[in-house]
Structure 1
Amino acid sequence: MGIKLYLRFFDFSKEEFKPQSDFEIADSFELNAGLVSALFKFARAMSKNIHILEFNSDEQADIQNNKDNYSGDVLVTCQTESYLFHKSVYAKIKLIYDVLLSYKIPLESAIEILPVQEEKIYNILTDFDARSRVDEHKNQLKRLVSDFLKEMKNYGLREICITSFDLSPIMLFSKKYSLDDVHGILRNIGNIPEIPLLNWVYRQSTHDGEEIWVYIYKSDVGPTIEGLFEPYLYLLICDFNSYLGEIPEVLGNKLNRILS
């Protein structure tokens, strides 16, 4: 059984708003039917299934507020894990657009992306700077988290994971779970609301049929890439119905001091 992926669309085109004509309104059903049919044929050709198509109006999409600042017609798509924060993924794509793509508009087949630019795109998408900072401090982080897990074992705390600002796992500390396990746990969480800096939420998830709780703490430290601040998030994976009180904040402060 495969995993669920999202195909996300990011529109960087500049287009004047035009009221729908009677013809456009009358023709909308045929257009919608054609779109859905084409998408499902495309998915079947790739041996994949589409379960949900979600449409958001321009008025409801905050990330489209500065749409008029763009020039040309550019649509960027990417496949991602379903649990990633959409706004954070958008921020990465917008950074790539602003730094590497905008000056190439209008895009033509003759325009190539240089190897050094490909590497920069890859590093942005895979959180290279965030991972590098964690790796630089990994020994100190391991000592801290190992002691913390032992101290908090009676509270039901099983595992701690550091993620990038879009919720991509970077580092685990105990041997209780693998990174593949954490991916599965995050896929089973469902919707996660916006988390302010230095705050946390908890959500229910499952692993191998067992219910667990996941506390998600958003730090105020992390790399800044071309003006984009990417704060770390810390996952605390616990027994079901575990009450951690202020433990997420205590751990967050300790990790923040190391990663700042």
Structure 2
Amino acid sequence: MLRETFATRYVTPLREGGSLPGIVEADDLGTYVMKFTGAGQGRKSLVAEVICGGLARRLGLRVPELVRMGLDPVIGLGEPDQEVQELLKASGGLNLGMDYLPGSLGFDPLAYRVSAAEAGRVVWFDALINNVDRSWRNPNLLVWHGDLWLIDHGAALIWHHNWPTAAASVARPYDASDHALALFGPDLAGAAAELAPRVTGELLAETLAEVPDEWLADEPGFDAPDAVRAAYAEALTTRARTVSGAIAVGRPTEDRPSQAPGWLTGRSHPESEAAR
């Protein structure tokens, strides 16, 4: 299970993207990037973070430690930013913390080289979880102490936003043409041979057990949190078995808008922009 901590001080918001995570200090004297249940993406974004972070860690990829983080909304009373105040008030109780990596740098492909083997593992993993948010526009990669770290998986597992169509979504191919690591010649065959056999029922059970019951409760179409876990396990088992032959790496686009959902990027639809 994930360690439990409690937020003691809200330090500053991180305004990248639309979820407004914040840097907080906790009662274990650690510093974390906190992601809130009251943010626009809601608890499913946090579920995706826990599942994908747990899978990545168990597959040998570097991800910051995740913790269960309690929040008393009173912590926001002294915040001058009204948006932050409202977010904290809406997020009382259990939230998610991600270990803050001090001194880390945003990934720059011109300054940091990635081996074909490591690039292949990351691209294959993103195909497994159907991560739509690790493109050259927004890599969601950090370099810390000379190593590559994966962050921000709240937009992955996109099928869990519509369980009745999950089977069709899970079967879709993965276009990695715009992936942040596509230019490093990812060794996808090697990654598939290494990682696919490791996505076992036991590994998925361990990972899914880390998702708090309260974030899975009251899911339409399911009678209990364990039933939701079983649906995630079935989807990821199927995906691990089939996705290796369905990853395309073509010529990257130059000016196409991001394919990430609008609720993730914080941008309105093109039709809305045109109407302004």
Global fold match (TM > 0.5): no
Per the shorter chain, which TM-score range? under 0.3
> Rg bigger for which structure?
1
Q: Which structure's relative contact order is higher, taking Cα pairs within 8 Å and 6+ residues apart?
A: 2
TM-score, normalised to structure 2, is: 0.24
TM-score, normalising length from structure 1? 0.25
